[in-house]
Amino acid sequence: MAFAKSLISFANFALTITSAIVKMGNSSLSFTPVLPPSYPLAVRNPYLSAWLPGNEASNLPSAIPEFWTGQKLGWSVLTRIKDNSEWTTYSLFGLGESDASITPAQVVSAEYTSTRTIFVVTTGKATFTLEFFSPVSPKDFVRQSLPFSYLTVTVSSQDALPIQIYSEIDSSWTGHFEESAQINVTVTTSGSTSVYEWIPISPTVFKEVSDMAQWGRVIFASRKFDTSTSFTYTIGPRGTVRAQFVNEGDLSNPQDTFQSDTITAFAHDLGSVKTATNITFAIGHYHEDAINYRGNDRTPYFRSKYRDPISAVVHFLDDYASAHSDSQQFESKLHDLAISAGGEKYHDILALTVRQVFGAIEITIPGGTSPINTKDVMAFVKELSSNGDINTIDIIFPAAPLFYVLAPEYIRLLLEPLLQYLNTGVVKQSFPLHDLGTYPNALGHNNGDTEPMPVEASGDLLILAYMYQKATGSALWAGPAGTYTPLLQKYAEYLSIESNGLHIPAQLSTIDGPGPLAGQTNLAIKAAVALNAFGVMSQQPSYSERGLNYSGQLYNGGKGGLGLSCDSGLTHFTLQTTDVHNCSDLAFSTAWNLYPDVLLGLGTFPASAVAMQDAFYVSARKEQGVQADTRGDWESTFWGLWAAATADASSKSRQMYIDDIHAYMANGRNDHPFCDRFHVTGTDAGSQYTWRARPVIGGHFAVLARQGADLLN
């Protein structure tokens, strides 16, 4: 089957249409709150991650959505309207290749909130709202782990016109683009719900191709609502099925021949519509085998209640009203909190952050024939785009402020797989592993053979453990008699040796692009804070004293410390400590490791060190932002907000960082699912780096986290 070929021509056609639409003008289109680089459409886990580049929003009727990596995903919405006894078919979304029998509707507005993306389009006499809703209910593990997303189409027309609505998907959602792909497409009816399942016939479990799962099944479902006078569905070649809708408005007489251009489609006849009337579709990627954890199969949490795809998606549709109202409460609470912590622009950033972070995570329980053990919960996160690792420690660490604010339990759920593994003693090295393998295979590295980040990984783990303890009050994990206290003590011991944690030999830190570097000041700051955190949580003051000693040596009251520049202008923390480099070298790294010291009230460094950095960041700003590290010309959006959140609300750097990141997000020059790095100087200033959709942007919550933990409870 020629999937690849048909997709390529499909994509080329879309490009032609883009320019046509632009020529037609955009005068009335409005964006709320801003035009983002990319709109989340259906973003729930690493294998259900559909987006629409922002610059395609004005072209919605033809624009084709994309998997987070950029592969096109066939998904469209058409409507058929009767006016003056003539039926006309319009495309509202995703048509792709133009069709003389289908007229593109006009886009009126585009909006994103923290859980929804909402487009309004009009055909003149009828107005349609397309609401792409990916629920975020972090504490409801059943709802959060369901691998589906909603599309609700609401229509109203002043003239009470007869209206029909249609939606289709194609095989691209299966991730099988190879010519030989064989996919079994089935339809199942359960009560009023009909479910299409696209099932690859030769799946390869736990294997990805271009980041798409090569196992599991694609789900597309809808049901007869009270508002639909008729509800029909079919499978067939795209052209035939669309023509049937254009000519008949219903899709009875399903066909069963499967070809490369096969689609599955639903049509709702709404009768004469005057007041707002809506219908809902569910789309998803169902995979019972979610994660291979050290040879044991783990399954998504929802399977403790809904064992098969049909019951899961029927429940998902039943849950719509409740998910929607919970979501609106979530959005409104988050809005108020974000405004009070950092203003409107800060809220705009957070609203775009939420789905992207949860969209990289699976919440799991043990698999097998009877997946009911809800006591053994583990969460897994994919390091999307930068390398595909699973449960990377320096991905969980920067993202943690989001969990701290929304659901601190995730810090434990994400670290549990690593801690259980390290606790077996199999790994002999004296610092934690950087990751557990390549998603979705969390096989570990028994020989320790993975990116070594001795101080980064040790410090991250100790600080995260204290963050969890501080946010939840639970000492069970890392308190004086905690399950993992002896393990964590080993890493504290490692850091407490000066030649490991203070006079640091050449090694990688989280900014690993430029390679290993000796004497990284920001790592020494991390070691100091982490030692103090361990001392406090385990009630062993000697570790805190060690951390304070490192702080004293690094900062020394702002006078000639190991970590300070000796420039006559504005003293600041340097890139490298002065034992390996001289203090007149002005290279620096943003000292984001001071942030957890302040957040957790540890006081390892004095307030004057925080004030020094706050003033320095303002002076170090280039055309469009502050470099995260002088070895690169880019700002990191999440480390930037960690730095911004370190000083108090009255700081100057906080608003500067928020303004710069907002300006980058809204400048209309970028099109990736939010990229967490942007260039700050030169002709590329304001442009995204290569990465996409990374969960690290949970760090944007750093400013809000200063107001406390678990704020939406």
Angle made by CA atoms 348, 354, 359, in degrees to the nearest 5? 140
Which residues have CB under 8 Å from 40's CB, separation 6+? 50, 51, 112, 117, 132, 134, 352, 355, 356, 359, 673
Q: What is the CA radius of gyration of the chain?
A: 26
Q: Is residue 184 part of the contact set for ligand NAG (CB under 6 A)? A: yes
> How many C-beta atoms surround the C-beta of residue 541 within 10 A?
12
Give the shortest CB-631-to-ligand NAG separation in angstroms: 13
Q: Is residue 707 part of the contact set for ligand NAG (CB under 6 A)? A: no
Q: Is residue 582 part of the contact set for ligand NAG (CB under 6 A)? A: yes
Q: Is residue 190 part of the contact set for ligand NAG (CB under 6 A)? A: no
Pick the closer one to ligand NAG by CB: 100 or 201.
Answer: 201
The binder of ligand NAG chosen from 56, 66, 131, 635 (CB under 6 A) = 131
Give the shortest CB-131-to-ligand NAG separation in angstroms: 5
CA 410/CA 403 separation, integer angstroms: 6
Q: Is residue 278 part of the contact set for ligand NAG (CB under 6 A)? A: yes
Q: Is residue 152 part of the contact set for ligand NAG (CB under 6 A)? A: yes
Give the shortest CB-529-to-ligand NAG separation in angstroms: 16
Peptide bond into 237 cis (omega under 30): no
Count residues binding ligand NAG (CB under 6 A): 16
Burial letters for 600-620: b for 16+ Cβ neighbours within 10 Å, e otherwise?
bebebbeeebbebbbbbbbeb
Sole window of 365-373, 420-428, 513-521, 546-554 interacting with ligand NAG (rule: CB under 6 A): 546-554
Strand boundaries in 141-209, DSSP class E? 148-157, 161-170, 183-190, 193-200, 208-209
Give the shortest CB-189-to-ligand NAG separation in angstroms: 13
Pick the closer one to ligand NAG by CB: 184 or 423.
Answer: 184
Pick the closer one to ligand NAG by CB: 247 or 542.
Answer: 542
Which secondary-structure segment (H or E) carries 83? Answer: strand 75-83
Give the count of alpha carbons within 13 A of 94, CB side only: 23
Pick the closer one to ligand NAG by CB: 93 or 701.
Answer: 93
373 within 8 A of 366, measured Cβ to Cβ = yes
Pick the closer one to ligand NAG by CB: 437 or 501.
Answer: 501
Q: Is residue 584 part of the contact set for ligand NAG (CB under 6 A)? A: yes
**Which of positions 85-114 make contact with ligand NAG (CB under 6 A)?**
none
The residue written with tokens 């990229």 in the block is: 675
Q: Is residue 343 part of the contact set for ligand NAG (CB under 6 A)? A: no
Give the shortest CB-420-to-ligand NAG separation in angstroms: 35
Sole window of 40-48, 254-262, 345-353, 582-590 interacting with ligand NAG (rule: CB under 6 A): 582-590
Give the shortest CB-560-to-ligand NAG separation in angstroms: 12
The binder of ligand NAG chosen from 264, 469, 553, 670 (CB under 6 A) = 553
Pick the closer one to ligand NAG by CB: 34 or 656.
Answer: 34
Q: Is residue 472 part of the contact set for ligand NAG (CB under 6 A)? A: no
Q: Is residue 667 part of the contact set for ligand NAG (CB under 6 A)? A: no
**Which of positions 43-72 make contact with ligand NAG (CB under 6 A)?**
58
Give the shortest CB-514-to-ligand NAG separation in angstroms: 16
Q: Is residue 229 part of the contact set for ligand NAG (CB under 6 A)? A: no
CA 467/CA 445 separation, integer angstroms: 26
Amino acid letter for position 166 = Y
Rounded to 10 degrees, what is the CA torsion of 511, 512, 518, 521? 10
Q: Is residue 202 part of the contact set for ligand NAG (CB under 6 A)? A: no
Which residues have CB under 8 Å from 160's CB, separation 6+? 272, 273, 274
Strand boundaries in 287-422, DSSP class E? 291-293, 296-300, 361-366, 378-381
Give the shortest CB-184-to-ligand NAG separation in angstroms: 4
Give the count of alpha carbons within 13 A of 211, CB side only: 24
The residue written with tokens 């009875």 in the block is: 252
Q: Is residue 18 part of the contact set for ligand NAG (CB under 6 A)? A: no
CA 672/CA 689 separation, integer angstroms: 9
Give the shortest CB-498-to-ligand NAG separation in angstroms: 7
Q: Is residue 630 part of the contact set for ligand NAG (CB under 6 A)? A: no
419 within 8 A of 484, measured Cβ to Cβ = yes
Secondary structure (DSSP) of 640-685: HHHHHTTS-TT-HHHHHHHHHHHHHHHSS---SS--SEEE-SSTTT
Q: Is residue 549 part of the contact set for ligand NAG (CB under 6 A)? A: yes
The binder of ligand NAG chosen from 248, 289, 331, 585 (CB under 6 A) = 585
Binding site for ligand NAG (CB under 6 A): 26, 29, 58, 131, 152, 154, 184, 186, 201, 278, 549, 552-553, 582, 584-585
